[in-house]
Structure 1
Amino acid sequence: MFKEIIISIQAFAKAHALVKKHRLWKWIFIPGIIYMILFIVSMIFLWNTHSSVIAWFNTTTGIQSWLEKQNSKLLNFALAFGEFIVGVILLMIYFSFYKFLWLIVGSPIFSILSEKTESILEGREFPFSMAQMLKDIARGVKLALRNLFWQSIYSLTILIIAFIPLVGWAAPILGLLVESYFFGFSMLDYSCERHKLSPSQSINFINRHKGLAVGNGMVFYVLHLIPVLGWLVAPAYSVIAATISLYNAPDISNDQPQASINILQQQSSK
């Protein structure tokens, strides 16, 4: 798994080189600008509301009044740090809903960009089909909703863990891994779908290569630490990198269903 994470991370550098060489900037900046605007608006809203949720919880449970009676600096610090941890988890949960909404809205662009990336890697064109694109969109929405459901289950479990003293401090790391996996899953599925893997086959395939999904999602989130530029390139670069990573993973072509029709052949020699 660790090796696949490294492969997935390295794929972002190769994605940048591919974008520059083949002048794919319009595929990067047009969806990137839309994503950045929506991201800024949603983060402002989420930041202004998550503190209200924490305050409501403290008031409802009586923790705040109990701490005031204890008058303990250590307990106050523990509460403040715990609130920070819970706040991070809440922001992750909120962002995951926004992220899946964006995946649904941006599915047509991401599907085309993934196909364009593979056509460059293989040196051949894929015939365009409106009917196929509509199927791709429907499949993307279906899997996005499926992933949203399971990620919500995991995220709520992690949120509960976040309220446990000391143990809850590990919650943000667990949350990041879960977020990264489900986002990377969506990026990898565009290639799986193009090569005729059914949703269940795609799920099984990606589950056997979790490292590729986790690595892709991790870089996607790290890019958000770079204001403006990171927000612009994060979505499109993730799609391109996911497609490339499947071509650089060793022996991956031996781990595919027969129905994949030689999907994701290794192209490391190119």
Structure 2
Amino acid sequence: MHGIYLAGESFFEAFSVIKNGKMRKFYLLPGVLNLILLNLLYKLSKYISFNLFSKLEGYFHLNSYENVTFIIIKFIIIIIAFLLYFLVYKALLLIVLSPFLNYISERTERTMVNQKFDFSFKDNMRFIWRGIVISCKSFSKEMLGTIILLLLGLMPFLSITVPFFIFLLQAYYIGFSFMDYTLERHNYSSKESLIFLKKNWTFSAFSGAIFTMVFLIPVIGIFIAPLVSCVAVTLGTIKIINKDKI
């Protein structure tokens, strides 16, 4: 429960930190990149979705089902397809935004503790590279977990719960991607970061869930979610690190 409370508190606090740290101008860049990626993936997903549903419809003879059953099956397919596309889209977005988010995380901590970090160019490149690697690894694990959940979803009594667990899985790794910018800066190894993640999984999952919900707000969500989430998760992660030192 503490992790959930900390995530919520950090997101509320993030807006004042963005204001005090003069970071409002950084809302624009993620939004522009989001629009470009969203447009490309929308065209691709639209083509794939219709073809996939047509094949499933023909293979399982969905038209022979009763209307209510047909609607439920179609709804489940649409939700699962959306979650899969969001998984790919989110992974690409976090990879592209990695240099930007790493800078925002550092600037957030600088604003929070009033401390300047003297990292060399080589250090910053290492941070950026690790962020990209973490995003790629998280995507691989999410995809594997999603496939397993989809296979479990073939069981009738489990199918209705699959979208929720896919959402939770994605939220967990989204939170971790944001957390690791701070952990790397505090010299956590990849192994230590994973231990930190498992210990604070509720904070990670709830932070990722808030990011997703904010991100899905029409129009403004794609502009504010990356910046606010990065700042919020940085704040929460720093608090956890400082608490562990006591």
Q: Judge same fold: TM > 0.5, yes or no.
A: yes
Structure 2: 5+ residue runs without aligned partners? none
TM-score by length of 2: 0.91
> Equivalent residue of 2:182, what SS?
helix
- 1:52-96 CA distances to partner (integer Å, 9 max, x unpaired)? 212212323x333xx52xxx53xx322321221122122211221
Q: Which residue of structure 1 lines up, in the alignment, with residue 12 of structure 2?
A: 13
Q: Which one of the candidate residues 80, 86, 108 is aligned to 1:89?
A: 80
Q: Percent identity?
A: 26
Deviates more, 1:45-54 or 1:223-232: 45-54
- 1:218-250 CA distances to partner (integer Å, 9 max, x unpaired)? 11111133211111011111110101112444x
Amino acid of the structure 1 residue aligned with 2:76: I
- The answer (yes or no) to whether the contact 2:20–2:111 under 8 Å persists in 1 is no
Amino acid of the structure 2 residue aligned with 1:52: N
- The answer (yes or no) to whether the contact 1:90–1:159 under 8 Å persists in 2 is no
Q: How many residues are aligned here? A: 246
Structure 1: 5+ residue runs without aligned partners? 256-261, 266-270
**Alpha-carbon separation, structure 1, partners of 2:84 and 2:199:** 25
Amino acid of the structure 1 residue aligned with 2:181: Y
Change in CA separation of 1:217 and 1:172 when aligned onto 2, cut-off 3 Å? same
**1:13 Cα shift?**
1.4
What RMSD in Å do the two structures reach over aligned CA positions?
2.0
- The answer (yes or no) to whether the contact 1:82–1:165 under 8 Å persists in 2 is no
Q: Which residue of structure 1 lines up, in the alignment, with residue 215 of structure 2?
A: 224
**Alpha-carbon separation, structure 2, partners of 1:161 and 1:80:** 20
Query: Which is greater in Rg?
Result: 1
**Higher helix share goes to which structure?**
2
**Alpha-carbon separation, structure 2, partners of 1:30 and 1:220:** 17
TM-score by length of 1: 0.84
**1:189 Cα shift?**
0.4
**Alpha-carbon separation, structure 2, partners of 1:123 and 1:105:** 28
Q: Which residue of structure 1 lines up, in the alignment, with residue 227 of structure 2?
A: 236
Q: Which one of the candidate residues 215, 232, 243 is aligned to 2:206?
A: 215
Amino acid of the structure 1 residue aligned with 2:6: I
